[in-house]
């Protein structure tokens, strides 16, 4: 039995067939509405699904008794891999944007700024004193792999990637389950970040 339920999507003359799993909707087929034409999306989709049913029945026992078979339209191994890759890319982009925002806010406020992300928390402290180097402290709270920590630290603007040092942030106690890294920020990079806020 073909028990895959496909939902209709309509945008002007475009039509789509959407399958929903427990994570997200998948657009599994699309085309144009051409009422009365064999090229009509619905007509072409029906023909394709009937051919798929016939092919299935030629090689399987018991055979399908339904009119159509749409399982071949559903996402496969490569689609699942692509989804995982896109999810990972979105997480990286969000993390990079969050780090930049936290650094700017910390520069402006002069105190630690914090944000909760998926599965962990980031906190950033930036101390810039005239005539002195700019200190940057990054707190990572939660389970984060070494590779993810490296990606987080690489996203901090104006810091040498090879100069991060395990540290304790000044004037505060260490919390359970956190890792702290510190570095010095290029003062020109700090000035450029502040200039961005003045232009906004």
Q: Domain check: are 120 and 27 in the same one?
A: no
Is residue 113 domain-resident? yes
Is residue 81 domain-resident? no
Domain boundary among 75, 109, 124: 75
Q: What is the pLDDT along the chain (200 residues), one digit of tens a residue?
A: 456 789 999 999 999 999 998 888 999 999 999 988 888 999 999 999 999 999 999 999 999 988 899 998 999 999 999 998 998 899 889 999 999 999 999 999 989 999 998 889 999 999 876 556 789 999 999 988 999 999 999 999 999 999 999 877 766 667 778 899 999 998 888 888 888 777 65
Q: Domain check: are 24 and 95 in the same one?
A: no
Q: Domain check: are 156 and 102 in the same one?
A: yes
Q: Domain check: are 180 and 101 in the same one?
A: yes
Is residue 1 domain-resident? no
Q: Domain check: are 93 and 185 in the same one?
A: yes
Is residue 150 domain-resident? yes
Q: Domain check: are 119 and 182 in the same one?
A: yes
Domain boundary among 19, 54, 75: 75
Q: Domain check: are 55 and 12 in the same one?
A: yes
Q: Domain check: are 51 and 142 in the same one?
A: no
Q: Domain check: are 94 and 188 in the same one?
A: yes
Q: Domain check: are 146 and 63 in the same one?
A: no
Domain boundary among 75, 103, 119: 75
Domain with 102, as residue range(s), is 86-199
Q: Domain check: are 159 and 67 in the same one?
A: no
How many structural domains compose the chain?
A: 2
pLDDT score at 79: 92
Is residue 80 domain-resident? no
Is residue 11 domain-resident? yes
Is residue 2 domain-resident? no
Is residue 148 domain-resident? yes
Largest interatomic CA distance in the chain: 82
Q: Indicate the pTM of the whole model.
A: 0.68
Q: Domain check: are 91 and 131 in the same one?
A: yes
């Amino acid at each position: 039995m073909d028990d895959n339920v496909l939902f209709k999507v309509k945008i002007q003359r475009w039509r789509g067939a959407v399958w929903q799993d427990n994570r997200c909707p998948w657009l599994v087929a699309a085309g144009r509405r051409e009422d009365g034409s064999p090229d009509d999306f619905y007509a072409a989709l029906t023909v394709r699904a009937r051919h798929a049913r016939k092919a299935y029945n030629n090689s399987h026992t018991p055979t399908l008794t339904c009119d159509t078979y749409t399982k071949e339209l559903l996402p496969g191994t490569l689609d699942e891999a692509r989804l995982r890759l896109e999810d990972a890319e979105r997480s990286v982009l969000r993390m990079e944007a969050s780090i930049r925002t936290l650094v700017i806010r910390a520069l402006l406020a002069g105190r630690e700024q914090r944000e909760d992300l998926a599965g962990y928390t980031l906190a950033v402290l930036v101390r810039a004193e005239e005539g002195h180097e700019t200190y940057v402290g990054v707190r990572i709270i939660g389970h984060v792999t070494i590779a993810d920590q490296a990606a987080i630290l690489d996203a901090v603007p104006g810091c040498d990637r090879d100069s991060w040092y395990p540290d304790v942030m000044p004037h505060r106690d260490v919390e359970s389950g956190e890792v702290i890294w510190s570095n010095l920020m290029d003062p020109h990079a700090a000035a450029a970040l502040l200039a961005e806020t003045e232009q906004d």
